[in-house]
């Protein structure tokens, strides 16, 4: 059967656009469908969040040809400082010791999203925007996608549909893929501060019984804050005066960067774990947040999604070169198999961090503080942990070697 497209990508967020970029020379006929206009995305508060990019992700973004520009507004992380509020344990990781310029980089999500989207729009793909996918069916020959464009119904066919439509994925629902949701009853408050002593390119991760606080180096003396509190507390903190909010933030973080000054608006986003029970269905694959929406504690969501996308792109290119069907069940299964271990590792690690560090039961407190101290003193283990924080663990080193 001759389809309208080889591939339909649903969702023009980071995952969808990075996939489109990776496939720009694949010869595939691609359509990308995005529900929101560029202006709507540009002004959405969620675009204000800071993204910590692991070193491995910067290598992959370079392979996609977008890192040079993104790097101009990114701030390098030279050190990572992890501590446990009210307890003795802490650990420090350093770029110098790993022999790299930076352990990772911090960037405002909006900057990377708009650049990647702009670059993807310059490729040969057909974009439907604003357009929302409302229906999806598949047969052995094709996937059938129904869109809502300007109140009009549009039908498209493709050999394969990629759901890159985020944590509330419509594609996941339409495919009847079950999901497991873990509600942490927390919200992440995102804002920007300036500090009197400067950040010296240190990324701070401070665990507290109520949730983690990340203070990430940004341009100038600015730092991006991702502060997780219980839902009620976060809602209350959003309502408070700037002075009240700042006093509580300073109390939680301490004075390691001197006194803090608020320089950006405050927004709160619910945080939970959503994991799809499978990644593939007949003639469809879900990637990025559509497959796994994580707590931001370890800054791994997009890093993991980017690895989905590069793995998928590599396999699709190979399948095209071998003249295989990109929607055949064996191909979809091999993709799912290739991504399973990385998903399990990152999801379990992130979920474990939230649980272990939000626990004030004495034996747990002692164990985690002992672990932090040990980690700080045993160089070989520390180096291993740092390699993983940089997104370089094991097989991951392979991704990003190809130039797209
Ligand atoms: C506070 C916070 C801090 C974070 N910090 C980090 C960090 O430090 N490091 C990190 O790696 N990750 C971090 N993340 C996670 C990261 O932001 C996400 O993993 C990433 O943005 C997900 O990208 P995505 O493209 O999969 O999904 P999304 O960005 O959600 O994009 C999905 C797109 O699909 C579109 N869409 C939805 N439904 C439809 C439909 N029916 N039809 C058409 N289009 C549709 C949407 O409009 C959207 O543009 C953080 C997240 C939060 C909330």
Selection from 223, 198, 227 nearest residue 212 by Cα = 227
H helices of 122-209, in order, are 170-174
The tens digit of pLDDT for each residue in 138-187 reads: 999 999 999 999 999 999 999 999 999 999 999 999 999 999 999 999 99
Q: Which two tokens stand for residue 7?
A: 């591939």
CA 298/CA 296 separation, integer angstroms: 6
The per-residue pLDDT for range 29-47, each reduced to its tens digit, is 999 999 999 999 989 999 9
Q: Is 269 close to ligand 1, i.e. is its CB under 6 Å away?
A: yes
**Beta bridge partners of residue 179, listed in sequence order:** 276
Going by pLDDT thresholds of 50, 70 and 90, the confidence category of residue 371 is low
Residue 353 pLDDT grade (very low, low, confident, very high; cuts 50, 70, 90): confident
Please give the share of the chain, as a percent, with pLDDT higher than 70. 87
DSSP annotation string for 342-365 = HHHHHHHHHHHHHHHHT---HHHH
What's the whole-number average pLDDT of the chain? 90
Q: How confident is the model at residue 363 (pLDDT cuts 50, 70, 90)?
A: low
Residue nearest to atom 30 of ligand 1 (CA): 166
Task: Give the ligand 1 atom nearest the CA of 167.
Answer: 30
The SS3 call for residue 282 is coil
Distance separating alpha carbons of residues 404 and 400, to the nearest angstrom? 9
CB distance 98 to 390 below 8 Å: yes
* pLDDT at 332 > cutoff 90: yes
Q: Catalogue all structural domains in the chain, each as residue range(s) with its CATH number.
A: 5-75+109-181+272-358 (3.50.50.60)
Instruction: Provide mean pLDDT across the span 377-401.
Output: 60
Q: Answer whether 375's CB lies under 8 Å from 41's CB.
A: no
Strand partners, 149: 152
pLDDT digits (tens, 9 = 90+) for 231-241: 999 999 999 99
Lookup result for tokens 């069940």: 329
pLDDT, tens digit (0-9, with 9 covering 90-100), for 106-131: 999 999 999 999 999 999 999 999 99
Atom of ligand 1 nearest to the CA of 290: 26
The confidence band for 207, taking pLDDT boundaries of 50, 70 and 90, is confident
* Distance separating alpha carbons of residues 4 and 299, to the nearest angstrom: 38
Ligand 1, closest atom to CA 226?
1
Probe residue for ligand 1, chosen from 33, 48, 51 as the CB with the greatest number of ligand atoms within 8 Å: 51
Long-range CB contacts (within 8 A, 24+) of 375-380: 375/91, 376/90, 376/91, 376/92, 379/97
Asked whether residue 222 carries a pLDDT value surpassing 80, the answer given is: yes
CA-nearest residue, atom 42 of ligand 1 = 132
Distance from the alpha carbon of residue 302 to the mean position of ligand 1, in angstroms: 8
Instruction: Quote the CA–CA distance of 61 and 66 in Å, as a whole number.
Output: 6
Gap from CA of 14 to ligand 1 centroid (Å): 7
Kindly give the number of the ligand 1 atom that is closest to the alpha carbon of 33.
43
CB-CB contact of 312 with 291 (8 Å) = no
Mind giving me the DSSP string for 4-48?
SEEEEEE--SHHHHHHHHHTTTS---EEEE-SS-HHHHHH-GGGG
Q: Nearest 5 degrees, angle CA 95-CA 105-CA 112?
A: 165
Classify burial at 49, counting beta carbons within 10 Å of its beta carbon; exposed 0-12, middle 13-18, buried 19 or more. Answer: middle
| Lowest-confidence region among 167-176, 335-344, 368-377 | 368-377
């Amino acid at each position: 059967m001759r389809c309208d497209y080889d591939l339909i990508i649903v969702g023009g967020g980071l995952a969808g656009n990075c996939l489109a970029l990776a496939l720009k020379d694949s010869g595939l006929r691609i359509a990308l469908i995005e529900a929101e206009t560029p202006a709507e995305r540009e002004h959405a508060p969620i675009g204000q969040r800071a993204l910590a990019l692991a070193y491995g992700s910067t290598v992959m973004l370079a392979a996609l040809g977008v890192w040079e520009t993104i790097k101009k507004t990114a701030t390098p992380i030279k050190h990572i400082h992890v501590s446990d509020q009210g307890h003795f344990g802490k650990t420090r990781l350093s770029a110098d010791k790993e022999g790299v310029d930076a352990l990772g980089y911090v960037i405002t999500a909006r900057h990377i999203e708009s650049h990647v989207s702009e670059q993807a729009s310059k490729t040969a793909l057909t974009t439907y925007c604003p357009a929302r996918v409302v229906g999806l069916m598949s047969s052995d020959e094709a996937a059938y996608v129904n869109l809502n464009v300007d109140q009009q119904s549009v039908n498209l066919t493709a050999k394969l549909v990629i759901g890159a439509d985020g944590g509330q994925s419509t594609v996941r629902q339409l495919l009847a893929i079950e999901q497991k949701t873990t509600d942490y009853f927390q919200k992440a408050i995102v804002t920007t501060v300036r500090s009197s002593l400067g950040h010296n390119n240190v990324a701070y991760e401070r665990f507290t019984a109520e949730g983690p606080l990340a203070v990430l180096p940004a341009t100038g003396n600015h730092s991006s804050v991702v502060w997780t509190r219980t839902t009620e507390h976060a809602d209350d903190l959003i309502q408070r005066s700037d002075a009240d909010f700042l006093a509580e933030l300073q109390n939680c973080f301490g004075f390691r960067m001197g006194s803090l000054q608020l320089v950006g608006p405050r927004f709160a986003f619910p945080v939970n774990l959503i994991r799809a029970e499978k990644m593939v269905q007949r003639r469809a694959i879900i990637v990025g947040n559509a497959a796994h929406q994580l707590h931001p504690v370890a800054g791994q969501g997009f890093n993991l999604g980017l690895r989905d996308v590069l793995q998928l792109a590599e396999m699709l290119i190979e399948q095209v070169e071998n003249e295989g069907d990109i929607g055949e069940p064996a191909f979809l299964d091999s993709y799912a198999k290739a991504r399973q271990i990385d998903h399990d590792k990152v999801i379990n690690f992130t979920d474990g961090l939230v649980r272990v560090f939000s626990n004030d039961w004495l034996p747990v407190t002692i164990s985690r503080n002992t672990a932090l101290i040990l980690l700080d003193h045993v160089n070989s283990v520390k180096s291993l942990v740092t390699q993983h924080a940089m997104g370089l663990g094991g097989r991951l080193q392979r991704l990003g070697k190809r130039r797209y």
